[in-house]
Amino acid sequence: MKTRKLGNTRLEVSAIGLGCMGLSHGYGPATDRSEAIALIRAAVERGVTFFDTAEVYGPYLNEEVVGEALAPFRDQVVIATKFGFTFGEDNKQQILNSQPDHIRWAVEGSLKRLRTDCIDLLYQHRVDPAVPIEDVAGAVKDLIAEGKVKHFGLSEAGVQTIRRAHAVQPVTALQSEYSLWWREPEQEILPTLEELGIGFVPFSPLGKGFLTGAIKQGATFGSDDFRSIVPRFSPEALQANQALVDLLGKIAQNKGVTPAQIALAWLLAQKPWIVPIPGTTKLHRLEENLGGASVVLSDADLRQIASALAQVRIQGDRYPAALQARVGR
């Protein structure tokens, strides 16, 4: 597995990481714990060194699984996790909370669940408008000085928030959605990150599974699957957006690879400091995704993809309104 460096801090990770959320949260019932641990360890065996989790995934369950899975390899891997919420009595309600005291409390919990004495990359999961970002960055700066955290990250933050945070504590990476069917970061985010020397970690690089071609028109999702409330996965949007998958399929077939591998290779070709973190619960999908790092897209390939994208108008918002309000702040 090739490696890449995130930001001017030179945090080196595998060119493709593993997003672990779906093993415990968001896409139906949690994967059997032993199976989830086996998948994470299989990723390590195949050269993955970058693993992404968060306290909110479960809540808490995903960090526990990741911690157990990676304990034997702790000195070989980079673990990223996130703070930023408190939870209602039923542990289902997500309430923004980035107060400095809460950040410290959250980090202590994450350290225990991850079975480590230091978090490699700590993200603010969502910007909390009630807490100045300077206070958030300052709290993480203190944790870095204490040796409990190595690198600071933000998720789904807007340009001005990134700049303000970076002025207090250098930001190593921004994690936000970016893929062939969500390209908004190209407008302001990517130029800002390049200017400041901040790495970019795209989540949902396969469009929550859509870009693999496995989700067909008429697909339905259970109430415990996040996609059931995402406008982009409504029947009408799936039908309209199928044109993108069809185009991807043709390009992939011509190169003898899969649509997922084209989607990941396209992201890797955008900037040398971009590291996507596709998630999966299946070993064969893990191997397919990691194969995307070996697909080389020529300038002609990239022009062909750009031309194909220009023919497709993506329909449907990527979040329901309440969650959309939490991004880009």
Q: Per residue of the chain (329 residues), what is the pLDDT tens digit?
A: 999 999 898 899 999 999 999 999 999 899 999 999 999 999 999 999 999 999 999 999 999 999 999 999 999 999 999 999 999 877 778 999 999 999 999 999 999 999 999 999 999 999 999 999 999 999 999 999 999 999 999 999 999 999 999 999 999 999 999 999 999 999 999 999 999 999 999 999 999 999 999 998 889 999 899 999 999 999 999 998 999 999 999 999 999 999 999 999 999 999 999 999 999 999 999 999 999 999 999 999 999 899 888 988 899 999 999 999 999 99
Helices 33-45 and 283-291: crossing angle, nearest 10°? 30
d(CA 216, CA 110): 38
**Active-site amino acid positions:** 57
d(CA 153, CA 12): 15
- The CATH number of the domain covering residues in 3-208+270-295: 3.20.20.100
E strands present in 145-198? 149-155, 171-177
Identity (one letter) of the amino acid at 264?
L
pTM over 0.95: yes
d(CA 192, CA 186): 10
